[in-house]
């Protein structure tokens, strides 16, 4: 049984499709040169169950990490200062990710919660945020370019799994024709 079939079975059993499950199906579809009939059938079962509501796709983000926006704001400021005073170009994503890995997350599910987390972070964590971003910038300035061929994380197409399955079927279905059974 392929991973797609296992994911679909799990989604049907649980009644929901998580963003991780959706991403794994997308990754398999993107990297596979060809899908089996069983995989197409599993995707068809998943699509049908999503359309009928038997399986619910969990939204990608029902919450935000306020720390991300605070770190990104600080990183933009510090990276701009470095790039203005030198010929060095820094990867903003690398700088922010390094700093975020060293800071506590501040999740919120409502605008009020996000506002509370922002205020709390500004009063209690602003120095730590600036320090971690500064350390990250320093590491980036002195770091040689390892793996220039590395690929950035790509955001999925709009439309979530249904959009991905629709695109997949359009891309591959023209190659699929069921052969009549020889009797």
pLDDT of residue 154: 60
Burial of 57 (0-12, 13-18, 19+ CB in 10 A): middle
Task: Detail the DSSP E strand segments found in the chain.
Answer: 16-17, 56-57, 64-65, 107-108
Contact call for residues 43 and 169 (beta carbons, < 8 A):
yes
pLDDT tens string 99-139? 999 999 999 988 899 999 999 999 999 999 999 999 999 99
The separation between the first and the last C-alpha atoms of the chain, rounded to the nearest angstrom, is 27
pLDDT tens string 4-40? 999 999 999 999 998 888 888 888 888 888 888 999 9
pLDDT tens string 82-107? 988 988 888 888 999 999 999 999 99
- The rounded distance, in Å, linking the Cα atoms of 16 and 28 is 19
Contact call for residues 152 and 94 (beta carbons, < 8 A):
no
**For the residues 45-53, what does the mean pLDDT come to?**
92
The pTM of the whole model exceeds 0.85: no
Contact call for residues 46 and 162 (beta carbons, < 8 A):
no
Contact call for residues 77 and 127 (beta carbons, < 8 A):
no
Indicate the domain borders of the chain.
3-60, 64-142
């Amino acid at each position: 049984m392929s991973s797609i079939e296992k994911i679909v079975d799990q989604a049907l059993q649980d009644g929901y499709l998580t963003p991780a499950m959706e991403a794994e199906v997308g990754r398999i579809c993107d990297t596979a040169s060809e899908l089996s009939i069983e995989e197409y059938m599993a995707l068809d079962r998943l699509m049908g169950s999503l359309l009928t509501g038997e399986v619910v796709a969990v939204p990608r983000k029902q919450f935000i990490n306020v720390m991300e926006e605070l770190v990104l704001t600080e990183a933009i400021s510090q990276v701009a200062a470095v790039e203005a005073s030198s010929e060095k170009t820094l990867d903003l994503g690398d700088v922010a990710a390094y700093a975020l890995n060293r800071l506590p997350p501040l999740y919120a599910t409502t605008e009020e919660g996000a506002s509370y987390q922002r205020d709390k972070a500004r009063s209690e964590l602003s120095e730590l945020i600036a320090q971690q971003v500064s350390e990250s910038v320093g590491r980036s300035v002195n770091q040689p370019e390892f793996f220039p061929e590395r690929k950035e994380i790509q955001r999925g197409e709009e439309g979530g799994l249904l959009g991905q399955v629709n695109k997949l079927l359009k891309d591959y279905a023209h190659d699929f024709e069921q052969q009549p059974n020889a009797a």
